[in-house]
Amino acid sequence: MPDKSARTPEKKAAASLAVEDLTVGYRTGGVVLEDVSLTAPAGKIVALVGPNGAGKTSLLRAVSGLLKAHQGVIHQGRVSIDGDAITGADASAVVRRGVAQVLEGRQVFPNLTVRENLLTGAHTLRRDDERREATYEEILDLFPVLRQRLGQRAGFLSGGEQQMLAIGRALMTQPRLLVLDEPSLGLAPRIVEEIRDVVRAINAKGTTVLLVEQNALLAFEVAEYGYVLEGGRIVSGGPAAELAGDERVAQYYLGGQDMSGRRARRTAERAGR
């Protein structure tokens, strides 16, 4: 039997993200983000929650280099990876710094097979066949259902399977920072739990995760630190456990539920395994 460890791809150090005093607008309208600051320390999971229209997508575009493509403008502020500014950089430059984003809406290529979709994400490894194959196999180990669907067109997958494929494709770049935009949107509770476990597994392998969600139950359960974005401004930030127990946050984002006890139970369950 071949040594599976021999194909394990070389790990890159997790990246840190810093957004400082960021103000963003669009040429077609006014300001959508104002003086936004947040950090995602290397190797951590950080959640950003907020309602529709809060500015979450605009913030992600500023981080991932997609803002210009949507007629967006950074009026002031700084975005940096490991202390090096990427403010206003295009998407390809951001990818080269080790950042990958999974867009909202499970945007896979419906007419390509699962295998073909995954390999479209391998452009950063196109000159390294061994690492590309090792990364590909590692992703299939993370998502066993995709291994069973390799020859199937992505358009025929379930919503949950498409989300797994979208995440897997992003992981083919071997990111140091993975940005997830609403990964639980429209998925059944059982699939949301699977996505939660996958996020933890990705982070445990040494990747920083910025998790953007309306589903605060998921976000604060999996993250170590969190922020709340409303009306283009950060209105709250702190350890996820504290935010989950905050009365105002619970009222508006958790349906009145105090999640601190649930987090404690989950932590105890994981420690006992």
Domain count, the chain: 1
3-state secondary structure labels for all residues of the chain: CCCHHHHCCCCCCCCCEEEEEEEEEECCCCEEEEEEEEEECCCCEEEEECCCCCCHHHHHHHHHCCCHHHCEEEEEEEEEECCEECCCCCHHHHHHCCEEEECCCCCCCCCCEHHHHHHHCCHHHCCCHHHHHHHHHHHHHHCHHHHCCCCCEHHHCCHHHHHHHHHHHHHCCCCCEEEEECCCCCCCHHHHHHHHHHHHHHHHCCCEEEEEECCHHHHHHHCCEEEEEECCEEEEEEEHHHHHHCHHHHHHHCCCCCCHHHHHHHHHHHHCC
Range in 68-72, 136-140, 192-196, 206-210 with the lowest mean pLDDT: 68-72
> Which pLDDT tens digit goes with each residue over 227-263?
999 999 999 999 999 998 888 887 777 654 544 445 4
Domain-located, residue 5: no
pTM above threshold 0.85: yes
pLDDT over 70, % of the chain: 87
Report residue 133 as tokens. 């194959």
Domain-located, residue 25: yes
Domain-located, residue 137: no
CA–CA separation, 205 and 178 (whole Å):
12
**pLDDT value at position 254?**
60
**pLDDT value at position 5?**
44
Residues of the domain holding 235: 12-108+175-271
Domain-located, residue 127: no
Domain-located, residue 122: no
Domain-located, residue 161: no
Domain-located, residue 148: no
Average pLDDT over residues 207-220: 93
Which CATH number does the domain housing residue 30 bear? 3.40.50.300
Domain-located, residue 219: yes
**pLDDT value at position 9?**
54
Confidence at 126, pLDDT banded by 50, 70, 90: low
**pLDDT value at position 240?**
95
